[in-house]
Each structure stands twice: as C-alpha cells, then as structure tokens.
Amino acid sequence: WVYSGMGGSAFSAGRSPNSRTADILSRCSSTTEMPCSEANDGTQIAAMRSLHDGGVQVCLVDGSCRFISENISQTILQALGTRSGREVIDNF
C-alpha cells in the first residue's frame, strides 16, 4: 500500500493487529491505543489498527468484512497479506 498522508490508508501484515509496537510513518500523532513514531527514510510500517476491543474490523477484496482478532497467528496474517502466495487459508 502507498501511504499518501492525510486520508491515506496503509498497513503491513508484518505486525499483529493493534500491535503494541509503534507504527513508523512519515507523519503521525501517537496515542496510547495507536502508538507511532515519525521517519522519512523509506522504512514506514503500520499495523492494522482499531479502537475495537480485541481486534480490528477489515474489508477484504472479495467485498466481505471480517473481524480479525489481535491473537491471529502471524503465519495466517501474513498469508492474508500476500497477493500471489497461493496459500489456502482456513477460517480465521
């Protein structure tokens, strides 16, 4: 995903939903629930984030919307984040 600033939407499957590790973005305002730090060196990374308890609500490219738990397996999360890995993913 390309993060283009205000109104942009981006995330990485490299971190679990609502990760306690701070996102690294070109611009941000850190909060307790959504920690972040700024960097402009091309190392930006952002977890899926939400103020929902226990996870995040996401919409998939097939048009379905799902709740993803903060406790999702990292292997499954990364498989969901690939476009051509050909992984077969069971219910999550």
pLDDT digits (tens, 9 = 90+) for 43-71: 788 888 888 999 999 888 788 899 999 99
Residue 83 forms part of a structural domain = no
The total number of structural domains in the chain stands at 1
Residue 30 forms part of a structural domain = yes
Residue 52 forms part of a structural domain = yes
Residue 88 forms part of a structural domain = no
* pLDDT tens profile 36-46: 898 888 778 88
Residue 38 forms part of a structural domain = yes
Residue 5 forms part of a structural domain = no
State the CB neighbour count (10 A cutoff) for residue 19: 17
Residue 65 forms part of a structural domain = yes
Residue 35 forms part of a structural domain = yes
- Beta-bridge partners for 23: 36
Calpha distance 65→63 (Å, rounded)? 7
**Region of residue 2 (phi > 0: left; psi between -120 and 50: alpha; otherwise: beta):** beta
Domain enclosing residue 46, as ranges = 23-76
